[in-house]
Chain A
Amino acid sequence: MLAGSILLFLLVVGLFLATVFVPRFGRSISPRNWIIGGGIFLPLPILLALTFYALWQGEYLLRGGGGFPLQSPLRVEAHGTMWQWRFSYPDIRGATPTSGTLHIPTGRTVEIRVSSSDVIHSFWVPRLAGKIDAIPGHTNYLRLRADRPGRYGGVCSEYCGTGHAGMRFVVQAHTQEDYLAALAEEGGR
């Protein structure tokens, strides 16, 4: 997409400069061909291909990154309030809710149920997935998967008041073996 955009940009600006400064440039092309060629035949195939590719890619992301999931995703809940995120783990028996840090296992698709009870927030971990809004009165779902253990920064990306800039959180990805222990340790604190 980037390379294509650079090419198209250079093409249009180049044509503008050429038609202005190079005498008789492009005069052999009839006005009709200019308009039909540049206005219809140039953009349409690109847009069609791009739209279908984006549709396919969107479906892929909605599944949570992997192929068709063989195992059911691990469900966690993210609840936004002014101005922090609280996470709970309905699929893990006995896990206590956490604030500011979401613990997930690696190598498994995680389905996050995103909600809010005050204003609109948006849940975003740039390195793991796209964003989804937390809208009072609605629940939204986002699937993501971390392949490597580590800390992934997250932010609220919908303006939600004066604490918006500080409404950051961390996604901590643990290997499958360490995961339950890490959650238990949170509960012990």
Chain B
Amino acid sequence: MRHMAISAISAFLLLVGCAHEKPVAPRPAATPAAPQKAGGAQKPQTATAQAPAAPAQPSQPSPAPAADTERAPSAAVPSSRAGTGGRAAATGAAGATGSGSAKTKVPGRNESTASAAPQPAAPSGAAAGTAAGGTATRPGASPAPALDLPSLEQRLRDTRAIGVFTKLSLKNQVDDLLGEFRAFHRRQAAVTVAELRQKYDLLLLKVLSLLQDGDPPLAAAVSSSREAIWEMLIDPQKFEKLARN
């Protein structure tokens, strides 16, 4: 029984691990975000989709995306290259959170969900993007540290705060959200920026709620990456780069 359980868990871990795309080697950090954005941007490469948690530099609270109801993806998005934090692996949740699994191809990027989020797959990082309510809501806050997507993704995948099933579930949800972003950028869906933001925030909240007790540092990292990841998701060019990666 115990052996069967262990093998099942191992199979899950393999599933999450295999599903998660191998993170691309991190490129040199991008130019720092615009002054309004806190924190340096990091190449959003391996956004783990699992948990939409991508630790990004604590960007400011950008209320803009939420206010946009039109499909003006890049209009409200600062030009800064804030890295996406945690495309969870999640998912792990699913590692958790991010879109760890190979299936979850965050626009070109490995997403772990993470928290997020995510592993499973952690999920994944990309979704974490702009944390509306994130910690970086104070204008003029000191620049956040560069977003380390691969690291966040790995943390989401490895965290014990989220179980295998949960990581996989998060990864699934991150994958779904990424699909919506993809359809949004391709103008294949009538979803608005506000709706995407709401879904993104909700998913991130799920990741954070799972991490806050069991892995507070990771939860903080995911939370701080919210805005950066959102920026990467909502900007069509950045999203495309994610997809290519």
Q: Do A and B originate from a single complex?
A: no
Q: Footprint of B on A, CB under 8 Å?
A: none
